[in-house]
Amino acid sequence: MAHALPDGYTARPATVDDAERVADLFNDRSEVTLNERPTTSDRVLKRWDHPKFDLSTDSRLVFGPDGELIGYAHIRDVKDPPVDVFTGYTVHPDYDDARWLWDNLFGWMESEARRVIPKAPADALIALIAGTSDSDPVEQRELERHDFAHNRTFHRMSVDFEGTVSPPVLPAGVTIRTFEPGVDDEAVVAAYREAFANHYGHLDQPFEADLAEWRHWMTEDDFEADLWFLACDGEELAGFCTCYAQAPGEPDRGLIDELGVRPAWRRQGIGRALLLHAFGVLAVRGVEGAVLSVDTENRLGAPALYEGVGMRSIRASHTYVKELRPGINLVVQ
């Protein structure tokens, strides 16, 4: 249950009309902690526009006495079965020391997340998942104060395009082409499921659910099929690299979003070739470099791959987990 608010402070669920204010709230915090304002109202609306997300029950806004937005939280019960519940939250930096506000938001998230328990297998572990930046010690303090434990670290890696980008070298018979919407959808989703089957946080989902999720992201304004690259061995899809022309908060850099190679084609340089191909296309676009996020404990050696093409860590983010019910962990760790 959410902790009570002081007199004069109010809370309610968000509506679509609040998207710009929520984006500003996230940006106010990011400006202090990261020196950037990466969130837009369109991105907020896109994350709210999910078939398993209901603004009226899954979001919370907290307002100050003058009607200013000072806190936000949401939960996302999007897996099947719902053994991981994901959170999003932010507090205006002027209220960093208002522990009653953090208590209200974290109490609400946990209370609402517990709604999934009857829907999950009786013997399954259920966890609340949260994230924070390495540069935000206040959020780390509050996560730990509310009994979340650090579970994983991800690095943000970056590369500058200086001069000519090295051309990719592909195995014999393998070529790279761009993604064709409506034709390649199912093949890319199948390749993604295979490539990421043993990655941290993975939980097998129905194929149609994954397909719907990918098609949902393809409706975003910044989606460009010409920046999704497929490595093909004849008629077989060996690997993929999905990119965007602008990384959130870094408009002078492209974003490498998803990079995967199917197991049968690994250790042949295809991942490196896809990266270098993407760098080359982005460089021609005139951007200064590219960024991506990587699990520091990636079992396939992804950090070394990225370092090998000139990428370097520029900051870290952390995943925190709070166990809501003990049991068998169904999610890859």
Q: What is the pLDDT of residue 50?
A: 85
Cα separation, 10 vs 161, whole angstroms: 49
Pairing state between β 126-133 and 84-91: parallel
Distances (CA, A) of 82 to 44, 112, 119, 198, 226: 22, 13, 7, 19, 34
Q: What is the pLDDT of residue 299?
A: 85
pLDDT tens-digit readout, 208-220: 999 998 998 898 8
Q: What is the pLDDT of residue 217?
A: 87
What is the four-CA torsion angle of 37, 38, 41, 42, rounded to 10 degrees? 160
**Residue 310, Cβ neighbours under 10 Å: how many?**
19
Query: Would you list the domain boundaries of the chain?
Result: 10-147, 158-316
**CB contact set of 146 (below 8 Å; sequence gap of 6+):** 102, 103, 106, 110, 322
Please name the fold of domain 10-147: Aminopeptidase (3.40.630)
Pair 165, 280: CB distance under 8 Å: yes
Cα separation, 278 vs 209, whole angstroms: 28
Q: Is the pLDDT confidence value at 44 over 80?
A: yes
Q: What are the residue ranges of helices labelled H in 18-63?
A: 19-33, 41-48, 55-58
Task: Provide DSSP, 64-93.
Answer: -TTS-EEEEEEEE--SSS--EEEEEEEE-G
Cis before 81 (ω within 30) = yes
Cα separation, 101 vs 95, whole angstroms: 8
Most distant CA pair in the chain, distance: 70
Q: How confident is the model at residue 286 (pLDDT cuts 50, 70, 90)?
A: very high
Q: How confident is the model at residue 333 (pLDDT cuts 50, 70, 90)?
A: confident
Rounded mean pLDDT of the chain?
A: 95
Q: Is the pLDDT confidence value at 45 over 90?
A: yes
Cα separation, 19 vs 45, whole angstroms: 6
The radius of gyration computed from the CA coordinates of the chain, to the nearest angstrom, equals 21
pLDDT tens-digit readout, 93-113: 999 999 999 999 999 999 999
**CB contact set of 54 (below 8 Å; sequence gap of 6+):** none
Cα separation, 234 vs 172, whole angstroms: 10
Q: What is the pLDDT of residue 220?
A: 84
- Same fold for the pair 10-147 and 158-316: yes
Averaged pLDDT, 174-179: 98
70: tokens are: 């000072």
* Assigned superfamily of 158-316: Gcn5-related N-acetyltransferase (GNAT) (3.40.630.30)
Q: How confident is the model at residue 163 (pLDDT cuts 50, 70, 90)?
A: confident
Q: How confident is the model at residue 144 (pLDDT cuts 50, 70, 90)?
A: very high
Q: Is the pLDDT confidence value at 27 over 90?
A: yes
Cα separation, 79 vs 100, whole angstroms: 31
Cα separation, 197 vs 260, whole angstroms: 11
Cα separation, 298 vs 199, whole angstroms: 7
Q: What is the pLDDT of residue 1?
A: 63
Q: Is the pLDDT confidence value at 86 over 90?
A: yes
Pair 145, 3: CB distance under 8 Å: no
Cα separation, 99 vs 173, whole angstroms: 60
**Residue 248, Cβ neighbours under 10 Å: how many?**
17
Cα separation, 140 vs 146, whole angstroms: 10
Q: What is the pLDDT of residue 70?
A: 98
Cα separation, 6 vs 9, whole angstroms: 6
pLDDT tens-digit readout, 233-280: 999 999 999 999 999 889 999 999 999 999 999 999 999 999 999 999
Averaged pLDDT, 62-82: 95
